[in-house]
Each structure stands twice: as structure tokens, then as C-alpha cells.
Amino acid sequence: MPKSQAPIPVVDFGAFSTSDPAARSRIAAELTSACRHVGFVYVRNHGIPAALLEEAFSWSQRLFDLPREQKMLAPHPPGPDVHRGYSWPGLEKVSQYIHAAGDGNDAEAQRVGKELRKVEDCKESYEIGSETFARQPNVWLPENVLPGFRTFMTSFYWRCFETGQQLLRALAIGLGIDDEDFFLKFHSGENAQLRLLHYPPIETERLESNAVARMPAHSDWGTITMLFQDECGGLQVEDPNHPGHFVDVIPLEGTLVMNVGDLLMRWSNDYLRSTLHRVTVPRKTASGIEDGKSHAMMRARYSIPYFVSPDSAAVIECLPQCAGEPHPPRYEPIVQDDYQRMRAKTQYAS
């Protein structure tokens, strides 16, 4: 199959914060169209200053540069119920296996999870949430290990959520919902997640042979994801015109990458697209070789995704604007917390 040239749209979001209704409607239509046809979109002028993002990446690098024994002072709790703190390489295994909610077959979920872990993971992460969410308490490093980290990340968490709120407003307008704050009623910010990700240097050959994985193909669970990535590259998205074929999401300076999550696809009766994506061999290795077939060491990659998800008790049911006589609702209503537990069963080793 020839290499796909399917473009990922770029939307300039700058004028959405103005009072110009025509500009806001145009931007909302562009964003929603990208989410319908591709599921991924670059967003320019998203409102988070470049200097703040540079500082966030600097904190992330300092965190992952710490010795392992210091990072392990804030370990991810056992099992899938609390998704916070430091996840060391091999702890998490992202997959597209979906375990049916409420079927009681935990043994099957454990079996699948064990099978998935036969391919070694080569990433580490640190998960941060709202300080007020008692069911998902943050797990912080001692202050003396990385002074200022907690203060900065707590503030950055809510700054990212502000941008997420604006994107949700735009999607509501683009979907024809009368109340642009409709989605905000389900999203207080309590159940969002800020994730710091580090992919250490690795031999290209090991990735090419599938001996190890950076991030296998998967879709995200929530409403939308906002991703900030460094210049390394490696993110790929399934081409909507050629299932099974992936195209590069090349880092574009000054943009965030937004994608639709599974719950928003469900909410919209599959009108909006939650697209498979993965992290694999970047176009350039540490030595600058671009063919991806040498024995070169691939450079480290840093990224910061921010997952916007509904509050735990939110009931997700088909939007009237996305259903009708020829398109009946495809999904039963589901509580966000039940859906999250269903998706988390195979992701973390216990």
C-alpha cells in the first residue's frame, strides 16, 4: 500500500476566546469536523504560554533524571484503582483489550494482562490529578527530593484544564448543542489527569523487532486528550482511509495535539472518531539516521498528555443531536466510573 498522505487538520483557536460569534462558530465547526473525520487535530493559539510549557518539560526532565530509588519514593499504588504517582518501566501495559464491565471475570482480565506483558515496556510516567479528589489521591515525592515540583504541577494541572474547557465549549457548539457549557456540567476537573511521560533511549532494532514497545496502538478512554510533545517525534495515528496503516503526527511548534476519547465517541453515537494511535520509531534517531533500520540508539522522548474525563458519577448517554431515525443510539448509558474500571482491568500489574 502506498504511504498515506492523509493530513491531520490544523485549527487556529485564537479567536475562539473573543466575542465574535462568527469566528467562534467557524472555529467550532473546523474543530468538530477534524474530530469527525480524523479524530486528531493540531490546535494553534490554544492559550497555554510557550514559556509555561517549556517550564513543564524542564520539570519533567528533572523528575525522570532522578535516581530510581528517589522516584520510587512516590510509587504508583498497586492495581488499577488509583492511577497516580510514578510508574516504572514494565508496570503499565497500554492495550486495546476491553474487559466487559460487570461480568465478574477478573481471572480472564488477569490472564490477558499477563499475556500483554510478554512484550517489555520501555517507558516511565508520573500521574497527577486534582488535589481535591479523595478517591484518587495524588502520590507526591517528598518536597526535599524535588523542591517546587508539587507546587508547579498543581498549578499547571488547572491551567491545562482551562484550555480543555474551551475545547469542550467549541465541540458543543460544533455539535449543535444549544448550551455551549453542556459538557462542562459533566467535567469539574476533578477526574482529569496530567501525565508526564519519558521514553528512555532504546536500540531501534529492538523496537523494530517488537522485542520491546514504547506505546502500542490504543485509543484513549475519556472525553478528549490534549498532548504536548517534544521535537523527537514517534507518535503515529491510524489513517482513517486505510485501517491498519499509521501516519506520523509530526511535532509542530506552537501547537497541542487534541484527540477524541472513547467516551466522547460513545456520547456522540460514533459521530466523532476515537482513533487508534501509538508511539514507535521516530523519524530521526539519536544519531540522525532516518531509515529506522540501523542499530542506532533512539533518542529519549518526552511528552505531556492531559486527559479530560467526566466526573466519576457522570452518566454518559447518547446526545439527541447525534441520534435519530436512521441513527438510533448504539450504546446503553454508562456511568463514567464503571467505564473507567472496565478499561483499567488489564493495564496495571497487581
pLDDT at 13: 98
Helices (H), the chain: 21-37, 50-64, 68-71, 106-116, 149-174, 204-208, 262-267, 336-344
Phi/psi at 226 (5° precision): -110, 130
Contact between 257 and 53 under an 8 Å Cβ cutoff? The reply is no
- What are the angstrom distances between the C-alpha of 1 and each of 7, 38, 247? 17, 19, 13
- Gap between the Cα atoms of 245 and 224, Å rounded: 23
Can you read off the three cell numbers belonging to residue 133? 479528589
Task: Using the Cα atoms of residue 201, residue 203, residue 208 and residue 209 in order, give the sign of their dihedral.
Answer: negative
H/E stretch holding 277 reads: strand 277-279
DSSP, collapsed to helix, strand or coil, labels residue 330 as coil
Neighbouring-strand partners of residue 106:
none
pLDDT at 88: 87
Q: Are 248 and 124 in contact (CB under 8 A)?
A: no
Domains for the chain: give ranges and CATH numbers.
10-283+294-347 (2.60.120.330)
- In sequence order, what are the residues at sequence separation of 6 or more whose Cβ sits closer than 8 angstroms to the Cβ of residue 303? 197, 227, 228, 229, 230, 235, 279
The pLDDT tens digits along the chain (350 residues) read 334 445 899 999 999 999 999 999 999 999 999 999 999 999 999 999 999 999 999 999 999 999 999 999 999 999 888 999 999 887 766 554 444 444 445 554 454 444 444 556 688 999 999 999 999 999 999 999 999 999 999 999 999 999 999 999 999 999 999 999 999 999 999 999 999 999 988 766 665 555 566 678 889 999 999 999 999 888 999 998 888 899 999 999 999 999 999 999 999 999 999 999 998 876 554 444 444 444 577 788 999 999 999 999 999 999 999 998 888 999 999 999 999 888 876 555 44
C-alpha 163/C-alpha 4 separation (Å) is 31
CB 212 within 8 A of CB 119: yes
Q: Are 186 and 314 in contact (CB under 8 A)?
A: yes
Alpha-carbon torsion angle 331, 335, 341, 344, nearest 10 = 50
What local confidence, expressed as pLDDT, does residue 112 receive? 41
pLDDT of residue 241: 86
Residue 176 neighbours by CB distance under 10 Å: 12
